[in-house]
Structure 1
Amino acid sequence: MEYPIGGRDGSGDAMKFMQIIDYKTTRFDDMNAVLDKWVEQTKGKRTVGHAVMGKDRTDSNHYVEIVEFPSYEEAMKNSHLPETDKMFQEMVALCDGMPSFTDLDVVREEQQNAATARRFFHEIAAGGNLNAIDEVFATDYTDHDVANEEDSETGIEVIRRDVTMWRGAFDFTFELDRQVSEGDDVVTLWTMSGKHKGEFMGIPATGEQCTMTGTTIFRFEDGMIKEGWWHFDMLRLMRQIGAV
């Protein structure tokens, strides 16, 4: 299976990629068996992120499959697997005519934005994978943080600096209490819990277990976090470490 050219936005960053496969068959059970065999044979190798298959309500022999990939490049890796080529040949043999393929670059997906926001809290902030910052935040990201003196700061290094500072002061995890996604915005209500292990705003490590609640709004553009607003209970945190 080959895919046409696709897959990057104007900034050169990889975009999520999806393919719609449209076909007719009177042998759906055999088709299903072919797909199940391919899933088993490509375990640990395939790059498909998510797949959904639907049947036409007005034509029981008409099926549409939507297959998602993290990027066009990952789709190509999947395409070049020998198991994929064999599956495609078996699939064509079961179809009434040649299947049609529509290749799409995903330019907006609200649930994907919500998943990216969760990735920040769990993988980057709590998990410490700072390399992922470049995959999640736009290079001209704008930050609005109640803990900073400036009303706003611009640049991806702002996030790298702040995450490094917080991780140096606290050994923490995030509980994401609620998340709402609408349009380009994702709002996350969170609770941070952890041990005060290092200096924070001039306060030496106390070893205290601390809890702080907050709300973060991320605005997305082309799948990347473009702007962020941070509101959290800093007074409560400072009380817990004896600063107030």
Structure 2
Amino acid sequence: MTFAQVIDFKTGRYSDLDQLMDRWVEQTKGKRTASHSLIGKDRADGSHFVEIIEFPSYEEAMANSNLPETNRIFEEMVALCDGMPTFTDLDVVRNDQLNASTARRFFHEIATGGNLDAIDEVFAADYADHDIMKEQDTVVGSDGIRSDVTRWRSAFDFAFELDRQICEGDDVVTLWTLNGTHTGDFMGIPATGKQVGMTGTTIFRFKNDKIQEGWWHYDAMKLMKQLGAAG
């Protein structure tokens, strides 16, 4: 179970503390078990900070706490704080990655399921699309993705399998596998009834909870070979 530790502290010397954290990161390279860390500053009190550190498990967190470097850094941290920091230990019982969920909604509900009405809920009106199989480097507008989905669904009876998703900031990276049957015209190639499959990666950038920009990279050559169009 994912574990998180919340450290609540006050300091008038945050820049010094920030440098201290940089030293800890450098000194514990290859040894620390923390997977994610963020520090927030209280808008109402500029000396009040909260750090949230995420670990794969409670046991990993304890291993991290027992590092000699962690003990030394903690002593120096206390010296920079106004009073003793407080700690809250949390077992994570729910972890919603909302942008990743929206990305999955595109692959499952819109592309595979054919619910084109959901496009305006998922994509920004000025969505910018970058696709290796298009002549234009960038196509702007959610109507472009609507046209793409319609074109692919008219040519293939397919489904996406999502192999992995990686979230960082406003970006969601999805590694996927597409498998299906060639049932209609595709780029001038009439239906062959052949089974096709390819892998690819899509990067969606989000803004205000909607997909603002997308980059598509996939094995187009493999697909065309399966359709008999490439040697």
TM-score class normalised by the smaller sequence:
0.5 to 0.7
1:151 matched to 2:151: no
Q: Which residue of 2 aligns with 1:209?
A: 195
Instruction: With the length of structure 1 as denominator, give the TM-score of the two structures.
Output: 0.55
User: Deviations along 1:73-96, whole A, 9 cap, x unmatched?
Assistant: xxxxxxxxxxxxxxxxxxxxxxxx
Q: Quick check: 1:233 aligned with 2:222?
A: no
Does the CA-based 8 Å contact 1:180-1:188 persist in structure 2? yes
Query: Hey, what does 2:210 align to over in structure 1?
Result: 224
SS at match of 2:97: helix
**Which runs of at least 4 in structure 1 moved beyond 2 Å after TM superposition?**
none
Residues 202-237 of structure 1, C-alpha deviation per residue, up to 9 Å, x if partnerless?
Answer: 000000000010000000001000000000000000
Alpha-carbon distance in structure 1 between the residues aligned to 2:96 and 2:137: 28
Give 1:110 shift: 7.4
Listed as ranges, the matches of 1:1-244 within 5 Å are 111-244=97-230
CA distance in 1, matches of 2:157, 2:198: 13
SS at match of 1:175: strand
Cα deviation 1:146-168 (Å, max 9, x = unaligned): 01000101001000000000000
SS in structure 2 at match of 1:172: strand
Structure 2 residue runs of 5 or longer lacking an equivalent are 1-86, 89-94
In the alignment, residue 232 of structure 1 is paired with which amino acid?
Y
Identity of aligned residues (%): 67
Distance 2:96 2:143 in 1: 25
Q: Which amino acid aligns with 1:150?
A: Q
Q: How many residues align?
A: 139
Deviations 1:36-69 (A, max 9, x none): xxxxxxxxxxxxxxxxxxxxx99xxxxxxxxxxx
CA contact (8 A) 1:110 1:183 kept: no
Q: Give the CA RMSD over aligned residues.
A: 1.8
Query: TM-score under structure 2 normalisation?
Result: 0.58
Q: State the shift of 1:140 in Å.
A: 0.4
Secondary structure of the residue aligned to 1:202 is coil
Matched-pair contact (CA < 8 Å) for 1:110–1:181: no
Q: List gaps (5 residues or longer) in structure 1.
A: 1-56, 59-108
CA distance, structure 2, for counterparts of residue 215 and residue 221 of structure 1: 20
